[in-house]
Structure 1
Amino acid sequence: MRAAALLGGMALLAGCTSLASLEPATPADYAGPTVNVADQAVQVSGQLLHVFEMTHVDGRRLASTSMATVRANQGRGFSVAPVALTNELPLRPARVQLQATTQYAAPLLAVTRPTCRTQGEVDFAPEASKAYRVTGRITAEACEAWIEDLATQRPVTDRVSGRGTK
C-alpha cells in the first residue's frame, strides 16, 4: 500500500508536466448559463491535506486541485499549502468523476503515513443560481467524496467510496 502511494505521488508529479490533455469544464462551443463547483483542500497539518476534487466532466480531463497544489508547493520541502480550484459547468446534467485523496508535502512522507485515494463517477444535475462544492471525508474507515449544495451543505450526488486510511 505504501509503495503504491509513493508511486501514485510520483505519477501525480509526472502528470503535472503534461497539461496539454486538460480541458475546461465548460466546452468552448457552449454559450449558455453555468454553475460553480469548487474543489476543497482541507489542511490537516503542515504536511498533509485532504483533497476532494472533480477530475473529469463528461469524459473531459480537468486541471485538478491536486496538480495545482503540487505545482504551487514545489521547492517548499516538507510543508504544503492548499490550492483549491473551481470549475464552471454548463447548466445541464453531467457525468463527473470525483476523487478523495490524502496529499502529503512530499511523496516520501506517504510511505510511512496513512493514505487513501478513491475515485469514481457520479451523475450531477446542477440547478440555476446555486453554487456547489466537492466535499467528503477521510477516516480510518472510509475515503469518500460527493458534491454538496454550498448553501444547504446537503449532498446532491451519490458518494464515491473506498478504503480508509487503516
Structure 2
Amino acid sequence: MIRRFLILCLSIAVAGCATYAPSVPAGYTGPRAQLDDSAQTQSGSRADFFVVEQLDGAGVDNSLNETVRRNQGRGMSMTPYFISRPLIAEKPIKVSIRGRTHYAAPIQELTGTVYQVKGIVEFTPKANGRYAVVGELSESKSAVWIEDAETHQMVGQKVEVVGSARLGLFEK
C-alpha cells in the first residue's frame, strides 16, 4: 500500500515538470534566424508579455515562464527576463504566439485586469534575420504579431481581438 502511494506521488511530481523541445534540432548546421519575446513594463509589478508558446506544434520555453521562475519569492516586485531562440531559416514555420498581462504576485493577478490574445502565425524566416513577438493589450483592442526586429515590418498575419480581451476570474 505504501509503495503504491509513493509511486502515485512520484508520478504526480514528475508529471508537473515541463519539458520543452529545442527550437533547432541538435547538429543542425544550416541557415538560422532569431526570434525574440518582448514585454512592455507597466509598473514594477505588472507587464504585458508577448511570447512564443509553440513552434510547429512543439512547446518551447518563453519569457513569461522565465520571468515567473526568476521572480518567485520577490513579493509585489517583478523584473522581466527575456528569451531569444534560434529558428531554421528559409523554411516555413507555424508559431503559436500569445500576448498576456502578468503581475508579480498571484493575488494581483486574481484581482487585477488581465488581457490575453493568442493565435498561430505562419511565416518563413530569412537567413540571419532577427524577429520579435510584439503587441498591444488594452480594453478596446488587443493584438499580437511577429515583426522584423530591424525594419519593424510585420511578417505573417496579426492575431487581433477588437473589443475587450479581458479574462474572467476563472480564466486567469
TM-score class, shorter? 0.7 to 0.9
* Consecutive unaligned residues in structure 1, runs of 5 or more: 1-16
Asked if the contact 1:40/1:53 (under 8 Å) is kept, the reply is yes
Q: TM-score, normalised by structure 2?
A: 0.81
The answer to whether structure 1 residue 130 and structure 2 residue 129 are counterparts is yes
CA-based RMSD = 1.8
Q: Which residue type is aligned with residue 110 of structure 1?
A: E
SS at match of 2:67: helix
Q: How many residues align?
A: 150
Alignment correspondent of 1:154: 153
* Displacement after TM superposition at 1:29 (Å): 5.2
1:89 to 87, 90, 103: 87
Structure 1, residues 119-166: CA drift from partner, whole Å, max 9, x if none?
111101111232111100011112211100111111112112234349
Alignment correspondent of 2:3: none
| Distance in 2 of aligned mates of 1:143 and 1:29 | 39
Alignment correspondent of 1:79: 77
| Distance in 1 of aligned mates of 2:74 and 2:129 | 36
Asked if the contact 1:142/1:165 (under 8 Å) is kept, the reply is no
Alignment correspondent of 1:106: 105
Asked if the contact 2:52/2:95 (under 8 Å) is kept, the reply is yes
Q: Which residue type is aligned with residue 45 of structure 1?
A: S
User: Structure 2 matches for 1:36-55, cutoff 5 A?
Assistant: 36-55=34-53
SS at match of 2:100: strand
Asked if the contact 1:133/1:149 (under 8 Å) is kept, the reply is yes
* Consecutive unaligned residues in structure 2, runs of 5 or more: 1-15, 168-172
| Distance in 1 of aligned mates of 2:128 and 2:134 | 20
Q: Runs of 4+ in structure 1 displaced over 6 angstroms?
A: none
